[in-house]
Chains A and B, each alone.
Chain A
């Protein structure tokens, strides 16, 4: 069988884990992919459902292990909470995959201070970015929010050097509130910021960035960013879960001031300044 576009590779499942509460991570032995993958990339996974239907599921790359030739991807749950065949996958099974889907998250030149805002949905899209940034010696602050502490991303999934700031709606951990209550304290510090997750989170990040650019320069951290005017410093990651992966079906198109962006080709990260209105 041939998938549309690039030729598929069949990879063995070599590990399974939990990426965030209720969200599955699948480790695949796919050495031919490892070298070409960067933060922001996804793969398309293909496995037949019980009725034989095959879809191309977007699975963001969450970790890379070049020595073992292993790629970890996050499985995005179905919106209605239902489980598909990938949710029941077992170690030793084989999955057809193709990619990479999308473009790497652009790095702001000379960036040393990275702010990441995400929720459980967005974490899969930024985990590799966080790890890569720490490995490069950049300072990283992760601001995350959830309804309650049990839904937060476990700190054990992150490098020790990442500063984690949390908000919970019920006040069970961190600040009572949501990400909009935390971000204003950190945007001045960062020389690059990436927001990934639900539209409310992304909107909060955009709002904080706008307010910052027009007003206060106070920061919760000691050092002020060296950001320059004109830097594409805030990127938002708009998630998508299924589609053609070739940029032709229109399933992941986002209108921007400069034209439409196809998340599977030009995305998933979009420079926030390119938006011409609300998302």
Chain B
């Protein structure tokens, strides 16, 4: 886009945002680093310039250590990746010990992604985190509803809206920080989760989780992943994610939405803003392009300037139909 077409100076376009109502999350940029691809924290600053990021979400953290799944854990599929890491992590105490200092020093907000197979796990996990949350500068929690739930016989929390709402309620009671609730585009009832989730304590809805997928290994007549089914990432998810975001953002009273799923370029990110995302979440594309967060912010600035907006918020929901 040439500078002559810009209606205002991109340099003055505001990237910062304060999200949520009662519990507010402040971000300097509209870019989220998704939970998973970049680890728990200590290593991230060597991989991506966190000054170009608004919110870094850690890999999933559980109350006690989880061993994760067998290999292969990650395979290619047409248009993306299929993965089943199994939420491997050393448990909350060790994660805080190893990575807490990096959260404290991070030049962006940090959210800890919560892995809870059951409600009692979640309470204890949050209590453990809350004891050190101020000292470690934890800005928010991400409650991951794509995690398999013990009480649902291994189905995801998002597959049962009643169970998901109970979990949100528990997270709200146990934790003081803004609560980001993460679902995939395959969540069973996004409209109800969005509406009733706010009452239960949801502050932001992240429609950036991976839907379930499966790939056969034809030479072995078995699943390509050791775990059998896995989670899909990459461009093949993008249309699903955009549809889910647009459907949810168009609802009256919808919460702020973090949108993600297969964003591989600044142009992709603009599509997510247009569909109704307030922040965009970047994942496996970062492995190939560490500058993507900065490029997304710059692109958003210029797109907003070209349309005469002095804030990136002017880009949000421009592709949506009038509010129902």
Contacts and interface: CB of A to CB of B under 8 A. Distances in A.
Contacts of A18: none
B215 A80 contact: yes
A247 B291 contact: no
Nearest to A255: B67
A252 B78 CA distance: 20
Interface string A1-29: 11111000000000000000000000000
A108 interface: no
Interface stretch (B81-89, B111-119, B144-152, B243-251): B81-89
Interface string A43-72: 000100101111111000000000000000
Contact of A1 (B39, B70, B234, B291): B291
A248 B39 contact: yes
Given A79-B215, A80-B215, A250-B59, A4 B74 contact: no
A242 interface: yes
A244 B287 contact: yes
The A interface is mostly helix, strand or loop, or mixed, namely: loop
Contacts of A249: 36-39, 74, 85, 287
A250 to B, nearest CB: 4
A1 B59 CA distance: 25
A4 B287 contact: yes
A3 B290 contact: yes
A51 B238 CA distance: 11
B4 interface: no
Interface in B56-76: 59, 67-68, 70-76
Q: Which of A3, A53, A84, A243 has the most CB of B within 10 A?
A: A53
Interface in A196-218: 198
A68 B113 CA distance: 49
Contacts of B79: 49, 51, 53
Contact of B219 (A81, A242, A279): A81
B287 A238 contact: no
Contact of A54 (B36, B72, B264): B264
A3 B80 CA distance: 18
Contacts of B76: 55, 57, 78-79, 84, 241-242
Contacts, number: 132
A240 interface: yes
Interface in B272-313: 284-291
Interface stretch (B43-51, B120-128, B135-143, B161-169): B43-51
Contact of B289 (A54, A251, A279): A54
A55 B288 contact: yes
Contacts of A52: 235, 264-265
A55 B287 contact: yes
Interface string B91-135: 000000000000000000000000000000000000000000000
A158 interface: no
B22 to A, nearest CB: 34
A49 B264 CA distance: 11
A82 interface: yes
A253 interface: yes
A3 B74 contact: no
Given A56-B287, A79-B219, A246-B47, 7 more contacts: A3-B290, A4-B287, A49-B235, A54-B285, A78-B75, A79-B218, A240-B74
A-B complex: 5 closest residue pairs judged by Cβ atoms: A248-B39, A79-B224, A54-B288, A251-B74, A79-B217
24 contacts: A1-B289, A2-B290, A4-B290, A46-B288, A49-B235, A51-B79, A55-B81, A79-B218, A79-B219, A79-B224, A80-B224, A82-B78, A240-B71, A241-B72, A241-B75, A244-B38, A247-B43, A248-B59, A250-B59, A250-B88, A251-B74, A252-B73, A252-B74, A253-B88
Interface of A: 1-5, 46, 49, 51-57, 78-82, 84, 198, 238, 240-255, 260, 279
